[in-house]
Chains A and B, each alone.
Chain A
């Protein structure tokens, strides 16, 4: 297993085909029409890599392999079948953690294999083992905390210890010190195990202070780490397919992380160490004039408005998913479309709990994907639209991000809902969103508020439209 380029030429060639299948698979993910085929290509690449690995003459113990694959396979199938679409972020977080954990375990077992054999570890080997352990274990424990937050087992609020960042920095320095001592001097299992434990603690410390609203960034980042961990494991055992696949996933996670931080108009460092949403704050600038009033609309009037509109844009936010009202949105849209109204959906990149989450939730209730528009595609359309309905979204529609330079969300890309001719905001109360600031959209003279639970409010709008 310490060989790389000595690997059988057939195995290496098959790995190359696998790598090509992974890349093609990701390429076919470029369009909803071909994405399913792309996923199948990726799965075929994986199957090929597994099969050629099993014909490797080094492999002797098939019983254990069969047992492990059966256990993992059954659990995997169970997860994949049972998970609800609203819980997809948790599931991806769990899987990121498993990927990181598996990579770390490979690095650890290679360490002990070499240690038991009394082999002197080369510099490359010991450096890559340390990297694999570091990235893999941080991914594992960080993902566990992210899962807990998404599942709301752990509070979604940012939890900060005093001197949190300094504590993390010291811990990181100790870990690096331990790793360097393993590399520079001889391998010693006791500090090595301590290093693993400290890495796990560091993963917890890094994710704990990040608030629930920032989870899309965290999941993307952990996704990237799980890829890098796989690549590190590839360096440890000298296997090119792990390196290639790991690099691909690392890049995917990195791009998604960038997209998410850009959508929030924050730097990665600010998300990781800024403890946004930790409370406190005080009165932030919002651009809401003193004494501004909110207008509420009756479902009947709003029903008339919708029924006789030419064009409607629905702006769904996470509140919609919390209320499980996706189906009601679709029903309202169907009803309006039957009347000849043009209905589209404007999806902000951080509308859900992970990148693209809202799109999946709407696809689940049969909203066609070509009715879903992202920010850049639809922002200029609002001014030509009769009615915009905001359901369970808040900060991503806040015009102060565009106009009020001292607003905490200033510069964040928002949906220009306030440009629509009429605006309906369906919301439970006037409570602020994650950013904790007031939203001038609610005080806009074109806005009618409908205070209700998303499901309830939509049902009332549906009834009202039906009466016209």
Chain B
């Protein structure tokens, strides 16, 4: 598949991991649940793989596996981003406190 690309793919993986580490370390504990469900939605990126398989393969078995993957990944993407938004909408600042201080 990747031929000479495998090493580059590993570079990409490792560097993206470091970026993730740096960025996510700064997320405060208050937001850890939305962070996790949001990250979860991002891991639904496998939807791309599922789309390619369903869209381009001919065999019955690969089609079935692909559609199953597509459904699971779509649940992950749609449900994940929506529920994260639902949670984040609830977080609000203390207006009363601003008034008193």
* Interface residues of A, Cβ cutoff 8 Å to B: 1-5, 19, 22-23, 25-27, 29-33, 35-36, 38-40, 42-43, 46, 49-50, 53-54, 56, 58-62, 64-65, 67-69, 71-73, 75-77, 79-81, 83, 85, 88, 91-92, 95-96, 98-99, 101-103, 105-106, 108-110, 112-113, 116, 122, 124-125, 128, 219-220, 223, 226-227, 229-231, 233-256, 259, 337, 347, 349, 352, 354-357, 359-360, 363-364, 366, 368-372, 374
Contact = CB atoms under 8 A, between A and B. Distances in A.
Contact of A4 (B2, B40, B88): B2
Contacts of B59: 112-113, 116
Contacts, number: 410
Contact of B87 (A25, A33, A363, A372): A363
A393 to B, nearest CB: 16
18 contacts: A1-B56, A5-B2, A46-B45, A53-B52, A65-B70, A98-B75, A101-B68, A106-B46, A106-B53, A110-B53, A116-B62, A124-B1, A223-B39, A240-B9, A356-B31, A357-B33, A359-B31, A363-B87
B87 A77 contact: no
Contacts of B28: 30-32, 374
Contacts of A236: 1, 49
Contacts of B1: 2-4, 122, 124-125, 128, 236-238
Overall SS of chain B's interface? helix
Given A42-B41, A109-B61, A256 B32 contact: yes
A108 B65 contact: yes
Contacts of A25: 38, 42
Contacts of A245: 42-43, 45
Interface in B18-41: 18-21, 23-41
A368 B94 contact: yes
Contact of A251 (B20, B54, B82): B20
A112 B64 CA distance: 11
B73 A98 contact: yes
